[in-house]
Structure 1
Amino acid sequence: MRRTVESESAAPTNPLRDAQDRRLPRIAGPSGLVIFGVTGDLSRKKLMPAVYDLANRGLLPPGFSLIGFARRDWADEDFTQVVHDAVKQYARTPFREEVWSQLAQGMRFVSGVFDDDQAFENLKATIEQLDKERGTGGNFAFYLSVPPKFFPTVVRQLKKHSLSQGQGSSWRRAVIEKPFGHDLESAQELNRIVHGVFPNQEVFRIDHYLGKETVQNILALRFANTMFEPLWNRSYVDHVQITMAEDIGIGGRAGYYDGIGSARDVIQNHLLQLLALTAMEEPASFGAKALVTEKLKVLNSVRLPKELGLHTVRGQYTGGWQGGRRVPGYLEEEGISPHSVTDTYAALKLEIDNRRWAGVPFYLRTGKRLGRRVTEIAVVFQRAPYSPFDATHTEELNNNALVIRVQPDEGVTIRFGSKVPGTQMEIRDVTMDFAYGESFTESSPEAYERLLLDVLLGDANLFPRHQEVERSWEILDPVERHWARHGRPEPYTAGTWGPRAADDMLARDGRSWRRP
């Protein structure tokens, strides 16, 4: 409904009665959260602080409850102290004693391992107790912050002990972290197990990139403006580059990372989701079903080039200098076999066989120990079909580009040509820049804040469905099989932008990677 300034000032609609009033925040109803693997880094650095930040912003109900499940021999008070310390260290919003006091009253801890029947009976009793004491209404989400090999065990235990189904109108939901399988076959098996316990609409697969404001801004940029979408096609776009680069190594994640690698860890989920959002058609609405429909259309149109050896690259970092200090190579990292062939860098060229994108290559790359930490989507436009300028006047002019910066400096940059002041008609690249931090007074919430709130609200807009997960594996599996048949990954020095073969891959197409 469109309102004039006069109507708003003279007779404003009561916002409590206006369901469409966007000034009202979305607040979760009576509910609780159970975190399996609550002692891990993800829980400590992201989940617990996100719960507090939501409470601090007034987005959780007064009786919200948090249950930790792990093998530690802790009392409720020990767990509360752990959450307190995590919140103090990692929360985005200021610590307020009154908020913490309210939140801490609903914290409980259940000790046990995942195949321990008695522990799950204790969990059931704890949930029932919180229903009575805190008014959670039987509504609980189960967050599986555990290694993927434990997903089936935890899910089956929830079913065995009647924890996966609410009573009456109450709900139970499963939240699952990536990686969701390690290939198509394992993903399909896991989907079968999970959907045998929870309905599809109650399964939330976390891809934290989809919770970032800048990722959601792709939809706003494209469909809320008329100046971009007419150019968003093969008639004007030369190619698209999607990059997720990290300047760190694997740290203490050897047990998880080795054998998985960068392609399975990042391309299968994060980068293919970014591709889908960048390339999809306008959805009928921003509801989960409509978004999934359009993303699936794109993913189903993605094609790998025939010559995988020419259009895919995998690398592995070696020792070097980064950030002013000497860093070890991947094979020198603690817990890594000296014979490991795990990729720490992956790049591939994809094509989309539809009318909008036919002939436009999408280049995806990700890696560790690269030049800097950055995630971006660069839409690179074609050069003008005819130029009246002398070649010497435009030698410093590159293709126009629109770059969506996902992290760390969230925003959008537009690169175009402008005349250099002076008597000559010399054209040079300039940029226009939009930065979230400079344009809005409110800081962007962490991705896990948005995603946890959406889980409690039952809003699945930002969560990949099982069809997307399986289709993504269908795209990546042939690449992984090709790499498995063709020796070791190519080495690259820490602090550089990846192996030489990645530059050669684009050079064969007459293009080059951006250096963010």
Structure 2
Amino acid sequence: MQTDSSFTFVLFGGTGDLSMRKILPALFEAHRAGGMLADSGKIVAVARHATDRREYIEWVNEHVKPHVSKNGVDETAWASFLERIEFVNIDLGKAEDFVHLRDAIKDLPGIRVFYLATGPSLFVPICHALASVGLNENSRIVLEKPLGYDLKSSNAINDAVGEIFAEEQIYRIDHYLGKEPVQNLLALRFGNALFEPLWRREWVESIQITIAEELGVEARGDFYDNTGALRDMVQNHLLQLLSIVAMEPPHSMDSDSVRDEKLRVLRALKPIDPRDIGKVAVRGQYHSGVIRGTAVPAYATESGVRPDSTTETFVALKVEIENWRWAGVPFFLRTGKRLADRVAEIVVNFRAVPHSALGASALRAGANRLVIRLQPNETIRLYCLAKQPGEGMNLASVHLDLAFDQFFREGQMEAYQRLLLDVINGRLALFVRRDEQEAAWRWVEPILNEWKVSNKPPKPYASGTWGPAASSAMLAQHGTCWLEEEN
């Protein structure tokens, strides 16, 4: 991915955790690869926790370096990367301070990218301040999640930002859309004749999408306790992955063609009747337990969390799509903290053969399945049945792997690296359009409202397990189970 696009990348929240762990390491990897970033491109960090460039570079050396280049840091590349970085110390709450930012970047070349790695409460003030000094022209702005607390607050932020930046200037980032297997899912579906005839209700029995974390809320207790898993993960990441899996083939891979098809899926989601929420939605909260031999505390005792909190740390949902391709196919979504493993995956369970002359094993659900693993390792695996060696016709499950590192010499690109390059080069396909976001909030809100009205506490689950038993029971009602339970 070569580029000659000159740019000035302005990073608000330049000393924050996201900048240290993800954004600056991604920019370094693009720099180190050579040719991905224009030589004239500059990175301008904006923060209050450093007084000048020298102090900021010391901060970067201490906090960013541990997160780059798994096989060691190329010191020559690192030194040249640091030369790209400038620093501006301003108070984001003071619009008058943005004059200093304008003066610092006015002579820097290329498109201006403003990345808001800050809390959402600062999105609108920053945008207004940028406009007050004329920095909203010839620019793009990247908004991190969460973008609002509900549909009303999301619309308020989008309205305010939309008054200052045109929709084609706004990049609402969801890093799961930048992951290599998600890109390969599009390639498998729309680049091969093999899967398209099977990618429909006649041949698919069910689909599971899981994003599981071993970690708890860590230092984010204050934020998380006012957010919960449904807002933090389902409304954005999980529904975006669902829309990629279920979308119709776009006429091209340009930004609006892809996003139009995703929007059609989100608008086709079957509304959940509040009376049925107990049957199709499971919410849980982790208690104390043991993960990999280490005792971990209950959610309610975490720092920043209210002792009587009813915030959910686990959600499992049964979702249906009301269109011709997917009518009647259940989509099971699941996410949670303090679960048994860190994994993100999409599981497509194909229907069993209608009649088997080879024994009962050929008739079991899931004998044929496609597993797209997003993390920790990124793979795509197709399962089928084959005869075991030896006497008799005994079948066993085998799999075919798409092993990226064996087919391609180039290393895989991290999600943030791909998405940041897309912003610099003006590619919007992997970013969330406003109408997509509204459709997702509109579907999620009845669940949030019913949970608030009913005031029922989340179901407890021990840390280090796969969540409340009700999650498994929900799938059992449909004659299936989560992938790890079958294994």
Contact 1:214 1:410 survives alignment (8 Å) = yes
CA-atom RMSD in angstroms: 1.7
Alpha-carbon displacement from aligned partner over 1:45-71 (angstroms, at most 9, x marks no partner): 111111111111121112211111112
**Correspondence for 1:328 among 278, 291, 297:** 297
> Given the alignment of the two structures, is residue 503 of structure 1 paired with residue 475 of structure 2, yes or no?
no
Alignment correspondent of 1:103:
81
Deviations, residues 284-314 of structure 1 (Å, cap 9, x unaligned): 1101010011111111111134311101010
- Could you tell me which of 427, 430, 454 is aligned with 1:462? 430
Corresponding residue for residue 91 of structure 1: 68
Q: Which runs of 5+ in 2 are unaligned?
A: none
TM-score, length of structure 2 as denominator length: 0.95
Scaled by the length of structure 1, the TM-score of the pair is 0.90
Question: One-letter code of the match for 1:107?
Answer: I
Alpha-carbon offset, residue 164 of structure 1: 1.0
Q: Does structure 1 retain, via aligned residues, the 8 Å contact 2:356–2:363?
A: no
Select which of 252, 267, 270 maps to 2:219: 252
The residue aligned with 1:217 is 184
Q: Which residue of 1 aligns with 2:2?
A: 26
1:482 aligns with 2:450: yes
1:484-504 Cα shifts (integer Å, max 9, x gaps): 223110000111111011111
Identify which range, 407-416 or 319-328, moves more after superposition.
Answer: 407-416
Most deviating of 360-369 and 95-104: 95-104
**In 2 relative to 1, CA 390–56 (structure 1 residues): closer, same or farther, beyond 3 Å?**
closer
Match of residue 10 from structure 1: none
Alignment partner, residue 78 of structure 1: 55
Change (3 A) 1:96 1:387: closer
1:327-379, CA deviations, whole angstroms, 9 ceiling, x for partnerless residues? 11111111211111111100111111111111111110000111111111111
Question: Aligned AA for 1:37?
Answer: G
Pair 1:398–1:240, CA change in 2 (3 A): closer
* 2:210 alignment counterpart: 243
The corresponding residue for 1:141 is: 113
Cα drift, residue 438 of structure 1: 3.5
3-state SS of paired residue (2:320): strand
CA distance in 1 between partners of 2:144 and 2:404 (Å): 28
Distance in 2 (alpha carbons) for counterparts of 1:222 and 1:72: 47
For 2:5, what is the secondary structure of its paired residue?
coil
How far has the Cα of 1:440 moved from its partner? 2.6
Q: Aligned partners of 2:73 and 2:3: how far apart in 1?
A: 20
Write out per-residue CA displacement over residues 459-496 of structure 1, whole angstroms, 9 at most, x where no aligned residue.
11110101111111011111111222231100001111
Would the alpha carbon gap of residues 349 and 395 (structure 1) be closer, same or farther in structure 2, given more than 3 Å must change? closer
Identity, % of aligned pairs? Answer: 41
- Quick one: distance in 1 between partners of 2:197 and 2:362? 26
Q: 1:180 aligns with which of 136, 147, 152?
A: 147
Q: Give the structure 1 partner of residue 197 of structure 2.
A: 230
Which of 267, 270, 275 aligns to 2:234? It is: 267
- Distance in 2 between the 1:199 and 1:353 partners? 32
Counterpart in the other structure of 1:6: none
Residues 159-178 of structure 1 correspond to what in structure 2 (within 5 A)?
159-165=131-137, 171-178=138-145
Shift of 1:189: 1.0
1:396·1:429 contact (CA, 8 Å) conserved in 2?
A: no
Alignment map for 1:304-319 (pairs within 5 Å): 304-306=271-273, 307-319=276-288
1:400 Cα deviation from its structure 2 partner: 1.4
Compare CA radii of gyration and give the structure with the larger one.
1
CA deviation map 1:119-153 (0-9, x unaligned): 21110110124x2xxxx14x211110001111111
One-letter code aligned to 2:27? V
Specify the code of the residue in structure 2 equivalent to 1:89: P
8 Å CA contact retained: 1:305, 1:349: no
Contact kept, 8 Å, 1:397 with 1:428, in 2: the verdict is no
Count of residues in correspondence between the two structures: 480
After superposition, the C-alpha distances for 1:396-425 in whole angstroms (9 at most, x for unaligned) are 884311111111121111122222223222
Residue 341 of structure 2: aligned partner: 372
Whether 1:155 aligns to 2:155 is no
CA distance in 2, matches of 1:339, 1:436: 47
Tell me which amino acid in the other structure corresponds to 1:54. A
Q: Does 1:342 align with 2:311?
A: yes
Distance in 1 separating the partners of 2:62 and 2:285: 37
Distance in 1 separating the partners of 2:292 and 2:171: 38
Segments ≥4 residues shifted beyond 4 Å: 393-398
